[in-house]
């Protein structure tokens, strides 16, 4: 039977990162993945340019039932460490708004960097390998596998086992719930999962109105009672997307209302009252023409103030104008759901971090079993934070094995 010090399941961001660090620390390492390619999600990330880190990574950029869990790992492996690695590999990169760092050329550069590091450190990667069974043993674990191409079965003995199988987002890129299954096998609790960093969907008249604006993007403040984001919002043929919506989706639960300030730099009620004094014969749509896109005004007119459509401002009560202004500054809408795991960038929820050490990523229930990356109940904001978590959790795990 093949024997290794550490077996890692999942050749994605966290698994590959953990693998070469472990091998550099002198351990024999085998990474198994059922997919035919390593790092598939990295290749798709950041629109093909991989937003590989953010310059400012702090605890508040993560959503978890146990918000302090990320502190230790993030303090031991930070943005500057990863940037130094990228620079050592001479990968060109640039900074976009809010400290997001992207490759100049391609996300392929990040995957190549990880694979080159694994090769140099002599960490072995075996793809197309299904994991059939994990059996705890006196000296660690025995992992039974089957090769997907030739159906060959094998057993591998490992002193420690790292689960780096990610979340449920985008099954076509190899995502499965396998990590949760393993966690459950060893008595771990799973915080219920849902799609994160994902567009919202809407039904009925609201859904039709949103669809009719497909392609339009405006700056908004999108918020609920847990989080607020001033970012662009995009109308699509399926619902509302863009950074503001993706960010808010991390803090949203099915059935909740979200609020959108369509005019974040203006008190819309005050503005309409001033317009009434200045040009009382104006219609609402004319008054708003300079501050909102025409297409949006036309859609809102049918949706929010149909009865006042042809009324001059002079004939509208001040209270009515203030109310309309309030609606533009705080448009309450109820999504019917999200576009789900099919398109979500991340999975909220996962392995309960209260049963995992934040210093080592080791299970508190099963010695020598580790969980890293997105399989844990740690979800980063949009902007390179999810990779930041994959790198940091992978690193501290390697350091502690």
- Sites of contact with ligand FDA (CB under 6 A): 9-15, 33-35, 40-41, 44-46, 50-51, 131, 164-166, 169-170, 174-176, 178, 345-346, 373-375, 384-387, 390
Least separation in angstroms between residue 368's CB and ligand FDA is 19
Least separation in angstroms between residue 219's CB and ligand FDA is 21
Residue 51 near residue 383, CB atoms below 8 Å: yes
Structure tokens at 251: 């803090």
Residue 312 near residue 149, CB atoms below 8 Å: no
User: Residue 325 or 384: which CB sits closer to ligand FDA?
Assistant: 384
User: Residue 21 or 34: which CB sits closer to ligand FDA?
Assistant: 34
User: Residue 40 or 251: which CB sits closer to ligand FDA?
Assistant: 40
3 state SS of 388: helix
Least separation in angstroms between residue 376's CB and ligand FDA is 8
Least separation in angstroms between residue 377's CB and ligand FDA is 12
How far is the C-alpha of 203 from the C-alpha of 293, rounded, in Å?
23
User: Residue 14 or 250: which CB sits closer to ligand FDA?
Assistant: 14
Least separation in angstroms between residue 202's CB and ligand FDA is 22
User: Residue 227 or 266: which CB sits closer to ligand FDA?
Assistant: 227
User: Residue 140 or 350: which CB sits closer to ligand FDA?
Assistant: 350
Burial letters 119-128, b for 16+ CB under 10 A, else e: eebebebebe
The residue nearest ligand FDA at its CB is: 12
How far is the C-alpha of 282 from the C-alpha of 279, rounded, in Å?
6
For the chain, give the longest Cα–Cα distance: 87
Least separation in angstroms between residue 40's CB and ligand FDA is 6
User: Residue 271 or 395: which CB sits closer to ligand FDA?
Assistant: 395
Least separation in angstroms between residue 233's CB and ligand FDA is 19
3 state SS of 140: strand
Least separation in angstroms between residue 234's CB and ligand FDA is 16
Q: Residue 84's Cα: distance from chain center in Å?
A: 24
Residue 159 near residue 140, CB atoms below 8 Å: yes
Integer CA distances (angstroms), 282 to 262, 279, 309, 325, in order:
21, 6, 11, 16
Structure tokens at 184: 């459950």
How far is the C-alpha of 178 from the C-alpha of 198, rounded, in Å?
22
Q: Which helix (H) or strand (E) holds 343?
A: none
User: Residue 169 or 366: which CB sits closer to ligand FDA?
Assistant: 169
Least separation in angstroms between residue 165's CB and ligand FDA is 4
Cα radius of gyration (the chain): 25
Query: Which DSSP category does 141 fall into?
Result: E
User: Residue 168 or 268: which CB sits closer to ligand FDA?
Assistant: 168
Beta bridge partners of 343: none
Residue 353 near residue 361, CB atoms below 8 Å: no
User: Residue 342 or 364: which CB sits closer to ligand FDA?
Assistant: 342
- CB count in 10 Å sphere of residue 217: 16
Structure tokens at 28: 């024999």
Least separation in angstroms between residue 182's CB and ligand FDA is 9
């Amino acid at each position: 039977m093949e024997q290794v010090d550490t077996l890692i399941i999942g050749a994605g961001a966290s698994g590959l990162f953990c693998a070469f660090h472990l091998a550099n620390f002198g351990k024999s390492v085998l990474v198994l993945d059922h997919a035919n390619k390593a790092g598939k999600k990295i290749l798709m990330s950041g629109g093909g340019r991989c937003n590989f880190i953010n310059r400012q990574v702090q605890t508040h950029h993560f959503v978890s039932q146990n918000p302090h869990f990320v502190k230790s790992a993030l303090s031991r492996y930070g943005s500057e460490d990863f940037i130094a690695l990228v620079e050592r590999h001479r990968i060109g990169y640039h900074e976009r708004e809010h400290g997001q760092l992207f490759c100049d050329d391609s996300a392929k550069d990040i995957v190549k960097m990880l694979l080159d590091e694994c090769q140099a450190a002599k960490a072995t990667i075996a793809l197309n390998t299904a994991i059939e069974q994990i059996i705890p043993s006196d000296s660690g674990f025995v992992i039974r596998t089957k090769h997907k191409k030739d159906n060959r079965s094998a057993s591998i003995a490992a002193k420690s086992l790292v689960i780096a199988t990610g979340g449920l987002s985008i099954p076509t890129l190899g995502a499965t719930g396998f990590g949760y299954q393993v966690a459950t096998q060893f008595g771990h609790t799973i915080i219920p999962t849902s799609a994160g960093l994902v567009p919202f969907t809407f039904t009925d008249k609201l859904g039709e109105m949103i669809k009719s604006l497909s392609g339009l993007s405006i700056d908004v403040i999108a918020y609920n009672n847990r989080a607020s984001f001033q970012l662009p919002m995009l109308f699509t043929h399926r619902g509302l997307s863009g950074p503001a919506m993706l960010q808010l989706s991390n803090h949203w639960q099915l059935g909740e209302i979200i609020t959108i300030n369509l005019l974040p730099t203006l008190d819309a009620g005050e503005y309409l009252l001033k317009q009434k004094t200045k040009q009382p014969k104006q219609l609402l749509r004319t008054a708003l023409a300079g501050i909102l896109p025409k297409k949006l005004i036309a859609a809102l007119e049918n949706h929010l103030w149909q009865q006042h459509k042809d009324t001059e401002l002079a004939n509208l009560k001040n209270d009515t104008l203030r109310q309309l202004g309030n609606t533009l500054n705080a448009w309450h809408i109820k999504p019917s759901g999200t576009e789900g795991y099919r398109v979500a960038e991340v999975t909220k929820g996962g392995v309960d971090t209260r049963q995992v050490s934040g210093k080592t990523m080791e299970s508190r229930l099963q010695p020598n079993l580790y969980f890293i990356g997105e399989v844990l109940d740690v979800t980063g904001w949009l902007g390179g934070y999810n990779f930041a978590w994959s790198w940091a959790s992978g690193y501290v795990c390697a350091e502690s094995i």
